[in-house]
Structure 1
Amino acid sequence: MASRGRSKLWQYWGYAVLALLFLSLGNNAIGPGVYAVLVGLLIVFVLFQAPVYCGAINRKRGGVVEFCRNNSTGLILGCHLRQHKWQKFGRDWWSLGWREKTKGIWTGASAKLATVSGIVGTVTGIIGVFK
């Protein structure tokens, strides 16, 4: 049976926004407002909707921190577990060093792709605004 609702391809809509940012760099007809909107959409996608691993802290054993490997949406939000939903802004997040904080955004290929596309898209948008 066919599944109802949106296709699985729809969850990657932010990468189309990134492609639009790249393609629009060569076009002088697009103004800075369009770049600002596209960068805003890309940041919303990366932070709240990109399919990534959760990366929330499961437990600390000695000096080693173990991260959650459940599927999640966005680099900020956690997985289906209630404790992981907003843990990155909780007490555990503020008590860690930068190395442990940023380790969660590099937990898998999809998280790396989301992080790099967010950075590259933001830089591309800034270049587009000031060209």
Structure 2
Amino acid sequence: MGKTKLLTKKRKQFIWRFWGYLLLPVIAVAIWSTQVGAAPIAIMSGLGAVYMFMLAPVPCGAPIRERGRDGEELYCRRNARGILGGCNQNRQHGWANAKLLASRSKWGEFLRRVLADGKGFAASVSALATSGATIIALGALIVSLLK
């Protein structure tokens, strides 16, 4: 009877790809615990926000040049890294998403495309939660340092 490895190559790849989501319950427990200070919460939630915005697997959603049968605009369906990034196959898609966020009138279109898919929805909600936790923890850290 041989040894079985706890962390196989496949499990290591899974953990490496989704470490930001695995960090979310740790952040939640740290927030509700009275033993953890504001600095570790700010660091963990900041790392979680960076993961969601730059590394989380989400659909690209950038507009493409082709049109649908009824003339509507079509969007890229490839996998992307992060809410703000585009797909790896086309560098222009990352810039297309950035242009949408730069113009305030296009925010609704950007959110509609990101929230249409389950992975994009999970990344968006998690990015909002970790960003809020980062801001609150940094505020608490500043207040505690000023006392």
TM interval, shorter chain, is 0.7 to 0.9
How many equivalent pairs are there?
129
Deviations 1:30-89 (A, max 9, x none): 111111111210111001100010011114758833211101110011012122132212
Kindly provide the amino acid, as one letter, of the partner of residue 64 in structure 2: N
Higher mean C-alpha displacement, 55-64 vs 108-117: 55-64
CA contact (8 A) 1:87 1:93 kept: no
Give the alignment partner of residue 18 of structure 2, picking from 9, 12, 16.
Answer: 12
* RMSD of aligned alpha carbons: 3.1
Task: Answer yes or no: is 1:111 the counterpart of 2:88.
Answer: no
Task: Answer yes or no: is 1:27 the counterpart of 2:33.
Answer: yes
CA contact (8 A) 2:20 2:56 kept: yes
Stretches of structure 1 that go unaligned for 5 or more consecutive residues are: none
Structure 2 match to 1:48: 54
What SS does the corresponding residue of 2:32 show, helix, strand or coil?
coil
Task: Answer yes or no: is 1:74 the counterpart of 2:76.
Answer: no
CA contact (8 A) 1:75 1:105 kept: yes
Task: Give me the TM-score of the superposition, normalised by structure 1.
Answer: 0.79
Kindly provide the amino acid, as one letter, of the partner of residue 50 in structure 1: A
Matched-pair identity in %: 28
User: Which of structures 1 and 2 has the bigger CA Rg?
Assistant: 2
Q: Distance in 2 between matches of 1:74 and 1:50?
A: 4
Structure 2 match to 1:121: 130
Stretches of structure 2 that go unaligned for 5 or more consecutive residues are: 1-7, 141-147
Task: Give me the TM-score of the superposition, normalised by structure 2.
Answer: 0.71
